[in-house]
Amino acid sequence: MKRVPLVPFPLETVKKFSRFLIGFGDTFSMFFPGLDWDLEQSQMEMEPREWTAVALFSSLFYFIMLGGLMLFITAAAGITGPQAIGVSLLVGFSISSASFFYISMYPKLMAKKKVKNLNENLPHALHHLLIQIRSGVPLFNCLVSISKAGYGELSKVFERAVNEINTGKSEIETMENLARENPSLYFRRVLWQMVNALKSGADVGTTIKEIVDNLAVEQTMAIKKYGAQLNPIAMLYMVFCVIMPTLGITFLLVLGSFIGLSINMEYIFLGILGFLVFFQFMLIGMIKAKRPVGI
């Protein structure tokens, strides 16, 4: 099983150590109602109470380790008594709480990352599938080709489908199972439309062509919406990164000359520079977060 960030040891080892916290994990899992679905979508193969117990064990480990480390540091710095204990408890509790919530939310983060990867590669894989089907290649061979084409998470999904078909399952049954288990809404819709086409005996190539056309229209609309969202962000950039620093410095210089105020411009410039770096970093994050997948 994969290594999880902030879990101090390999996951199988932590599962063994955290068994005594299963009862507490069952209680804390109620605060994460969608955890079972997220674990299934991220393929963690664990129950919600087991995962929450792992998060509790990890947070307890960090609380003891960092709390003890802070006690040692404060003692070395000559700080003793209630003040040292308070600092140690505060640092240990803060970091252990952050690690608990991060580990508890990790399956949701992995499911979202999986959805993003699927949606990014879906249009390219559908074009690949459409070309091969229109060329007369059987559907199973098309699935094998996509599983080896390097479409990231999408190729892994089709590889799993190919393995299930090789074990004796029908193509329809395999696609139905993939549609039920997959977290991507677009990919589920594509699979259900292909399943309906196979069940009704319709031309799969025509169905995929309609799906590709619909995705192209939706991507065009998403790009237009994205462009409209960039306008207020560009306005924010002009106001806070160009106009306000320029006018602010000018205002301070004029005000200082009138009232005879001594202004240390070096610190002001450093403060403005720090603000500009922070604000532009936030703007880049907003632009990246609003960007549609697949473009």
Which of 198, 214, 230 represents a domain boundary (last residue)?
214
> How many domains are there within the chain?
3
Question: Does 105 lie in the same domain as 15?
Answer: yes
pLDDT in tens, 224-243: 888 888 888 888 888 888 88
Give the per-residue pLDDT at 293. 60
- Structural domain includes residue 92: yes
- Asked if residue 5 belongs to a domain, the reply is no
In a domain, residue 6? The reply is: no
Tell me the residue type at 248: G
Task: Provide the pLDDT confidence category of residue 263 given band limits of 50, 70 and 90.
Answer: low
Report if residue 87 sits inside a domain. Answer: yes
User: How many CA atoms lie less than 13 Å away from 183 in the CB half-sphere?
Assistant: 22
Q: Are residues 40 and 84 in the same domain?
A: yes
Q: Which residue has the higher pLDDT, 288 or 264?
A: 288
How many CB atoms within 10 Å of residue 7?
Answer: 21
Q: Let me know if residue 151 belongs to a domain.
A: yes
One domain, residues 168 and 146: yes
Residues 186, 119: Cα–Cα separation, whole Å: 7
Asked which of 214, 235, 263 is the last residue of a domain, the reply is 214
For the chain, give the percent of residues with pLDDT over 90.
1
With 0.85 as the threshold, say if the pTM is over it: no
> Does residue 103 form part of some domain?
yes
Alpha-carbon torsion (93, 95, 99, 102), positive or negative: positive
Residue 295 belongs to a domain: no
**Distance between CA atoms of residues 258 and 240, nearest Å:** 26
Q: Which residue has the higher pLDDT, 289 or 174?
A: 174
Those residues with Cβ within 8 angstroms of residue 219's Cβ, 6 or more apart along the chain or in another chain? 123, 292, 294, 295
Same domain for 125 and 204: yes
Which of 112, 140, 172 is the last residue in one of the domains?
112
Position 50 in a domain: yes
23 or 269, greater pLDDT = 23
Task: Please report the pLDDT score of residue 96 as a whole number.
Answer: 87
Task: Kindly state whether residues 102 and 144 are assigned to the same domain.
Answer: no
As to burial, measured by CB atoms within 10 angstroms (0-12 exposed, 13-18 middle, 19+ buried), residue 56 is buried
Task: Look up the domain containing 267 and give its range.
Answer: 218-290
238 and 196 in one domain? no
Q: Do residues 107 and 199 share a domain?
A: no
